[in-house]
Each structure stands twice: as C-alpha cells, then as structure tokens.
Amino acid sequence: MGKHLFLVWKNLLRNKRRTVLTVFSSAISVFLIGALISVYALMYAQDPPEESAMRLVTRHKVSLTQALPYYYGSRIATVDGVENMVPMNWFGGTYIDQRPENFFARFAVDPDQVFDIYSEYTVAPEQLEAFQRDRQGMAIGKTIAERVGLELGQRITIKGDIYSFDPELTVRAIFEGPDDLQAFFHFKYLEEGLKESVGTEYASQVGVYAIRLRSVEDAPRVAKAIDDMFRNSPEPTKTETEAAFQLGFINQMGNIKLFLLSIAAAIVFTMLMVSANTVAMSVRERTREIGVLKTLGFRRRSVMGLVLGEAVLIALLGGAVGVTITVAVTTAMQDMAVQWFTGFTLPPWGIGMCFAMAVVVGLGSSTVPALIASRTKIVDALRHTG
Amino acid sequence: MIDAAVSLRSIHKEYRRADFLVVALDDITIDIPIGEFFCLMGPSGSGKSTLLHLVAGIDRPTKGQIRVLGDDIGELNESELAGWRSENIGYVFQTFNLIPVLTAWENVELPLLLTSLSKKDRLRRARTALEIVGLADRLEHLPKQLSGGQEQRVAIARALVTDPSIILADEPTGELDAGSADDVLAILSTLNKQHGKTILMVTHDPRAQQYARTSRYLDKGRMTEMPHAVPA
C-alpha cells in the first residue's frame, strides 16, 4: 500500500479546490463534534477534586428551587458521621452588568464554617478573620477577583434578582484553590436584608446544606440517615454526593446526553453524505482511468485501496484541522476565564474520538464508490466518457 | 516449446445492445507467431478493438479458446488475469490514457508499482523506457505539457517498462498527425525488430501496414481478404 500512497496523494491534488473544500467541510464537522465532546467532558467526565468526595449536599427532595428550613442545619449536624455542615443560599444577582465576564457564583454562607467545609481553598488567616468579623464582608476566589478587578477593601454592590435585596459588600478575603470561581458572603446579612424587604417568612430559608463527612465510607449511611430524619416532614430532603448533585443540577436542563448525541448524529450523517457525494463524483470522473489501471494489471483490491485511501486521507486531514480548531477555540474560551468554560477543553480521548469518527466517515462514505469502481468491467470503464 | 504468441480458436463474441444481439467477432481463428509485427486492419466497428480486448484478457469471448504465450487465459480468474496481464502484456491505447496528474516518469513507473522492485530500480527502468522512446528529456513533464505524439510515446514507454513479451496497440496513430504517427510506428517497429517484442496492432491507418510484417483484414467480425484499397 505504501507504494500506492503517492498515487492517492496525487489524486487529491488533481482538483485542489474540491479537496480543500472537502477537507474544510470535514474540519468544520470535526470541530463541531469536538466542541460537543468538550461540552460532554465538561459536564460529565471531569474528575471532581479529591475533597469533593468528602462532601454531601442536602437539598429539598422535590426540587432545588424549593428551600429548606434553617433549623435543619442543627439537626443535620447531629447525624453520626457528619463532621461539619454549612447552609448555603445561591444569591444570583448582577454585578455591574449582565455580561458573562462579570458573572460569578455568589453564595450566602456561614462564614465560620465555609472554609472548613471547602478545605481545598486556602485563605490567609488574617483575611479569613476579617471576613468573619465583617457582616458585610465578602470572600472571593482569586481567579474571579483578578478577572473582574477586585481587590481587598474594595466595596461593591450586587443587585438582587431572585431576592429583592441589594447586598453592599466589602472584599475582605481572597482565597485560592481549584475551581475558585465563586464568592461567599454572610448568611446572616442576607437574612437581615430579606427580613427588611420581604419579611421573616422567607428570611431563614436555606437553598442547600453542604456537609463535610468524617470519612468517605460514611457517605451512603449519612445520606440515608439525613433523608430518613426528614422523610415525614413537610420539607423532605434529598442528600447526595457533591458530584451527583452537580450532575443533577446539569440534568435539570433536560436530557443533555441525548441532546448532545442527537446533534452529533446529525453532524456525522451530514458529513457522511457530503463526503460520499464528493467521493462518488471524484470516482465517476475517473472511471476511464480506473479502466486503464486495471488494464495495466491493478487488481480489484488495489483499486478499492486507492479510493478508500483517498477518502480516509481527506478525512484525516479534515480531522487534524478540525481538532486544531477545537483546541484553539476551547483554549481561547478558557483564557476568557468565563465561569462556564472552566475545564472546557477537548480531552485526549476526545481527540481520539474525533479522528476515529473522521476515519469512520471516510471509510463509510467511500466504501460503496470503491466497490463500484473495483467491480466496473474494464471494457465498460474504457468506453466511459465524461 | 511455444510457437505462437497468440492463438485464437473459433472465437465468437456477442453482446447485447438494447434489444439487439450484436455479433462482434464471428469464428475467428488466427495464430500470431512469437516476434511477429501483426497488423489487423478494418473499418470502424469491424471488431478489431474487441479482438484486442480479448487477447489482453480484459474481456472474455462468448465461445472459443484464446491461448497467449501458451496460457489458456479463459481458465484464469479476474485476479489471476490482472497479474498475468501485468507480466506479459503491454497495452497502448488510441487516446494515450495517461494519468493527467502524474509526470511522464510517474506514468511510466505505474505498472512497476505492481512489482517488488525498489523505488530506485523502478525509476531506473522508467528512465530507460523513456530513453527508448526518445523522451529522456521530458521526465518531469505532465501529459498536458506534451504534444500528442509525445504522449503516445510515453504511453508506449509505459507499455514496455515491465518488459512484456507482447505489446497490444489499439489504433496507436488514430489521434496523431502524420509526422507523429510515423514516429510512433517507427518506435513500435524498433521494439519488434531490436527488442523482439511481438506486436499486435489494430488500425485503420493504411500507413501502419507498411511497418507490419503481417497484415490481416477484419470486416463485420469476420476475417476477409485484404481489399486493394483499404478504406481509411
């Protein structure tokens, strides 16, 4: 086959414009598939930090949008195996404007517990103390602080959207760690603000409880114990590992996997059709040459090899360009350090899948034309015009 | 001991075109000795090219036996025929049929890709073949950069590069002007006389007859007497 490679290459150069366009369309398809794989990897295939395994999350059994009473916290803390817990409320809100680069997660938390629960974050002791002492203090991840240009002592206002309350906060601590793309402020401050704006009914409600375990092995037992504790109460709970909780959060948007798979299938099918049409056209144009090759002594399998080789080479070139574009785009999006794109990258197995898909499409689109070419009778091929 | 390069026995070739049965060859029996320059003449549609196709093993007769260099090619399957053809037959087409994206050198090298020769040996043999046809200075030229006569000479080089015993030429001068046609016929004559190749040429060009040692006439699929004035 090695000897025939130069023939394959020369045939690709026969109609450069068509080859370039085919490679380009293949590259775009591979890029789209690569982007989908990156989204999948971002959502489902990221290894959670080691510390994450030590945490459970308790939420309302019905939905994440349903709140839990504040007093649940003290009862959860009594469960055997629970080392610590912290109530957390997703605040949302707007900082400066709605642009994605100004977005970051903001949680109202118990400042005395939060860094014990999220022990992968490191914060200077004096900054932690300042954050804990100041009721309007805020602790923010270093990555976010640098992106939005916040420094220690700076005052900011978050405009509430879920809550009709606009917290006025002072940056007291900047913490570092994996995925440090969030900010914390005092639960009590939110509680007081809500009491003033909407009354006491909603003030002491908690979105989720983050729980730190004494041991990873305790996770199933502790989760069951917590949920059993509130099973017959008006606000039943659902306790799960942090990783499962995050996955559940994603799945609230719908069956993402099916959605991704559907788009991927449509792209592959389109790519297959485009590629098959191009190969068929190219082979039809060369019917007479195929007759000549067979007259010279080329066997069926050699003719098949030439056609398949051509399609696979185009697919591989498209795959290489497509993967390069995907890596460039995901890297650029990571550099933007937008919250949603952290970890948005094409993993090595994704690169392999892109190339595998390109080869499968190359082979799939050229098998029928290659078979037809190899089986064409020489006399018919030599008579072919056009 | 093989005496005949090509031996045809009672060859019939029929094919169906639309609702009609066309008899392309009717009871053809010929023996062409080894080392012969055999010219088969006849008008268009007389079955000349069909006969050449049968001898090359790129088509099969409806009836009859074909032996080429002692081999009964009717007994070979398609794959065996391909291998047999690459070793024993050089084929020259009327329309040259060079691969347009390959240089003269690469076109001539093409049949050698089916051999176990090294790249160096393939190039050496391709160069020698091109020297024989007088195109050693056109190695890197693409077909579109060559004249019709030069293209046909490259095609002859491609036909002889594997050193086949038999060269089949299908109207080799059909697309050429008189000067180029004479050059091509002279090369075929040299290959016959100096290199001992058996040449079977079909043509309706009366000049070609002068270069051949034996000429026969085919009309409506049957061998007939050579007319006094061969229709061009």
**A306 phi/psi in degrees, rounded to 5:** -65, -45
Domain that holds residue A197: 67-234
Shared domain check, A76 and A221: yes
Angle at B67 between CA B61 and CA B70, to 5 degrees: 160
Sheet holding A237-241, edge to edge: A155-157, A168-175, A137-141, A182-186, A105-109, A82-90, A208-213, A55-60, A237-241
Are A151 and A194 contained in the same domain?
Answer: yes
Tell me chain B's radius of gyration from C-alpha atoms: 17
What is the count of structural domains for chain A?
2
pLDDT for B172 beyond 90: yes
Tell me whether residues A297 and B99 touch, CB distance under 8 A.
Answer: no
pLDDT tier at B5, thresholds 50, 70, 90: very high
Q: Render the burial of B16-52: b for 16+ CB within 10 Å, e for the rest.
A: eeeeeeeebbeebebebeeebbbbbbbeeebbbbbbb
The domain locations on chain B are 36-60+82-224
* Residue A307 within a domain: yes
Predicted confidence band of residue A48 (pLDDT cuts 50, 70, 90) = low
Q: Hey, are the CB atoms on B79 and A299 less than 8 Å from each other?
A: yes
Sign of CA dihedral A40, A41, A47, A49: negative
ipTM of the complex: 0.93
In this complex, is the C-beta atom of A10 within 8 Å of any C-beta atom belonging to chain B?
yes
Contacts of B93 in chain A (CB under 8 A): 292, 382
Residues A83 and A208 in one domain: yes
| Mutation site, A3, A8, A294, A296, interface B, largest B CB count within 10 A | A296
Three-class secondary structure of residue B46 per DSSP: coil
Same domain, A84 and A200: yes
Rg of chain A's alpha carbons, rounded to an integer? 30
Contact between A55 and A241 under an 8 Å Cβ cutoff? The reply is: yes
CA A188 to CA A184: how far, in whole Å?
Answer: 12
Residues A193 and A157 in one domain: yes
Q: Helices in A45-149 by DSSP H: which ranges?
A: 72-76, 114-117, 125-133, 142-148
Question: Which residues make Cβ contacts (< 8 Å) with residue A109, sequence separation at least 6?
Answer: A86, A87, A88, A89, A184, A185, A186, A187
CA-based nearest residue to B78, from B50, B57, B53, B55: B57
Same domain, A289 and A324: yes
pLDDT in tens, A68-106: 998 899 999 999 999 999 999 888 888 888 787 788 888
Average pLDDT, chain A: 87
User: What superfamily does domain B36-60+82-224 belong to in CATH?
Assistant: P-loop containing nucleotide triphosphate hydrolases (3.40.50.300)
In chain A, what residues touch B106 (CB-CB under 8 Å)? 6, 10
Q: Is residue A147 part of a domain?
A: yes
| Least CB–CB distance from B59: residue in A13, A293, A379 | A379
Q: pLDDT tens digits, residue range A235-281?
A: 999 999 887 787 776 666 667 788 888 999 999 998 888 888 888 98
